[in-house]
Amino acid sequence: MDEASIKLWSTFALALGIIGLSNFIYAFYLIVKAKKISVWYGVIALLVYIPFIYLYGYHLNDIIPFSIPQWMVSGNIFLYVGTFLMPTLAYSLFILVAHFTPKDKEYKVWVNLLIAMGVPITGFLFSKVILPLWHPVESMFFIQSAIVLVIVATLLFFFFLIRAIVILISKKTNSWTKYQLVWKIPITILLPLLGLAVNNGHLFNEYTAFRSGVFGDFNNNWFYILAIVNGVLICLPNIENKNYRVLLFLGRSITVAYTFYFFLVFLPFLPFSVMAIVAMGSGFLMLTPLLLFVIHIKELSKDYTFLKKYFLKSNVIAVSVIASLSIPTIITITYINDKSVLNETLSYIYTPDYTKEYDIDTNSLQKTLNNIKNHKGRQSNLFGDSTPYLSSYFKWLVLDNLSLSNKKINTIEKIFFNDISSNLASSIIEKDNVKINDISAESVYDKTQNVWKSWVNLEITNYSNENWLTEYATTINLPEGAWISDYYLFVGDRKEPGILAEKKSALWIFSQIRNINRDPGILYYLTGNEIAFSVFPFAKDEV
């Protein structure tokens, strides 16, 4: 990174540190003084965090510049700021909603819903009626004003939407409560299933042209199963029966991890949901995790209020926390088993113990290989073929943030599945139409070493008629007594010198860079005087 990028990192890190320290001091003060959080915290947090996130997005291309290869960046790290700061924004909105919705007053649900829906409707009308007639002044002031307007509209939308949901689930004696399944079933069961179906390309394929979905790969059947189970548990009635409520509380506590996961995944995108609603209507599905989270937490709160009359508060909280860790624990145990299976597989192939009988779990092995190939593949969308956060956790726990070479993957698949993967970049790279069209050499005698030094210049052209990934690859047999001491590659108009590196590391880096079209080349010894030479990628007719 250049000095400007490093300075940005330092500035944002310092600002984030100050914000975090301020939050800690205020939280400590509230605990010591036994005070409730002030509504002013919600206001100040919004005024601080929104500009911070906006400035982060504005400078994102400088904070994580294109010069940093994608394979060197841990997952979708650029989303982490939005993911882990947005909960504070959401909490600030909850504070404001709670303050402006006191329990001793009566409020109309439909009024708040009408105001909330009025925001995207106004935006839609503006984009269709006024915007075509608008002649904007292309200036930074106009752009910044438009951004501020969008931010304010988004805050208003979420304020009244959350307020409507809070009023709705707090009602005790009216038609909304009497017929609560009418609105609970769509929000807790139908919309989550619809959202999964749309993301995974089963519905409205024009919005999801990617194999894995816009927001990640949620094709695993467990996502659908948990969506149904979670929705049913939330929709079950809160009967005044101790044993029944204990079981219901346990079930809801177990599945809250599922609700919280999708709430976390979609948090960075919530500010764009209003624009998505205006643009294509189905953007309202992005709101489902937020609505589901609010309802789920409210139902858990009701269960807690009921059960604390029969049990110690600390016991109720402890049981809820332990239950909520059930799904993460199961995932962790599964990943640890996958790691064990992978290590056993590699040991079986490369360092076998002939006194041991191996029993390889091929289902686990196949899943691990698919995850590795998805990570190595070219990302055509935001998350590629990965599952947000879970894939990063898998890579850290199972693979130690490493990977397997294409050769090893093909070897494993050939041995255990009698197949060679067709999903690796190396298997779809064309090599036959790239030819050397000119060779020139220049030699100089080095008197100090009593040797001839020669530069051999190769001009290589891609003669393919297809717009396809093209690589030049060949082997060179050096004469006896000759060796290669340097290497260069023209990248555009720049002459880039080669870097002397350890062979295995260089081959791995070449494979990673090749997956993202960063003009790599590699020159390395095979055996004796035999040299392997590869350059990638070549565009059509490129020299």
By percentage, how much of the chain surpasses pLDDT 90? Answer: 29
Grouping H, G, I as helix, E, B as strand and the rest as coil, residue 521 is: strand
Residue 422 has pLDDT above 60, yes or no: no
Alpha carbon separation from 397 to 271, 338, 368, 411 (Å, rounded): 32, 9, 12, 23
How far is it, in rounded angstroms, from Cα 455 to Cα 521? 17
Higher model confidence: residue 90 or residue 24? 24
Please enumerate in sequence order all residues whose Cβ is within 8 A of that of 327, keeping only pairs 6 or more positions apart, or say none: 226, 254, 255, 257, 258
Please enumerate in sequence order all residues whose Cβ is within 8 A of that of 21, keeping only pairs 6 or more positions apart, or say none: none
Grouping H, G, I as helix, E, B as strand and the rest as coil, residue 444 is: strand
CB of 242 within 8 A of CB of 308?
no
Note the pLDDT of residue 336. Answer: 96
Note the pLDDT of residue 427. Answer: 42
Of 36-50, 199-213, 285-299, where does mean pLDDT reach its minimum?
199-213
What burial letters (b/e) apply to 187-205, b meaning 16+ CB within 10 Å? Answer: bbbebbebbbbbbbbeeee
Higher model confidence: residue 494 or residue 89? 89
Token pair 């190396």 in the structure block, residue? 426
Cis-peptide, bond into residue 520, ω within 30° of zero: no
Note the pLDDT of residue 116. Answer: 85
Q: Is 240 exposed, middle or buried (0-12, 13-18, 19+ CB in 10 A)?
A: exposed
How far is it, in rounded angstroms, from Cα 238 to Cα 247? 11
CB of 531 within 8 A of CB of 483?
no
Please, what is the average pLDDT of the chain?
81
Note the pLDDT of residue 132. Answer: 67
Alpha carbon separation from 102 to 18, 90, 297, 472 (Å, rounded): 33, 19, 19, 71
80-84 long-range Cβ contacts below 8 angstroms, 24+ apart: 81/53, 81/56, 82/53, 82/267, 82/268, 83/264, 83/265, 83/267, 83/268
CB of 530 within 8 A of CB of 476?
yes
Question: Token digits for 453?
Answer: 């030094």
Question: Token digits for 523?
Answer: 């020159």
How far is it, in rounded angstroms, from Cα 231 to Cα 177? 17
How far is it, in rounded angstroms, from Cα 210 to Cα 381? 7
For 245-266, how does the pLDDT look when each residue is reduced to its tens digit (9 = 90+)? 999 999 999 999 999 999 988 8
Q: Are strands 451-462 and 472-477 parallel, antiparallel or unpaired?
A: unpaired
- Tallying the residues shown for the chain, one arrives at 543
CB of 521 within 8 A of CB of 535?
yes
CB of 227 within 8 A of CB of 188?
no
Note the pLDDT of residue 224. Answer: 95
pLDDT band at 426 (very low <50, low <70, confident <90, very high): very low
How far is it, in rounded angstroms, from Cα 499 to Cα 50? 43
Please enumerate in sequence order all residues whose Cβ is within 8 A of that of 489, keeping only pairs 6 or more positions apart, or say none: 495, 496, 498, 519, 521, 535
Alpha carbon separation from 189 to 144, 289, 291, 535 (Å, rounded): 39, 11, 12, 52
Handedness of CA 110, 111, 116, 120 (dihedral sign): positive
3-state secondary structure 350-369: HCCCCCCCCCCCHHHHHHHH
How far is it, in rounded angstroms, from Cα 200 to Cα 210? 8
Note the pLDDT of residue 502. Answer: 66
For 182-206, how does the pLDDT look when each residue is reduced to its tens digit (9 = 90+)? 889 999 999 999 989 888 877 766 5
Higher model confidence: residue 541 or residue 418? 418
Q: Which helix (H) or strand (E) holds 432?
A: none
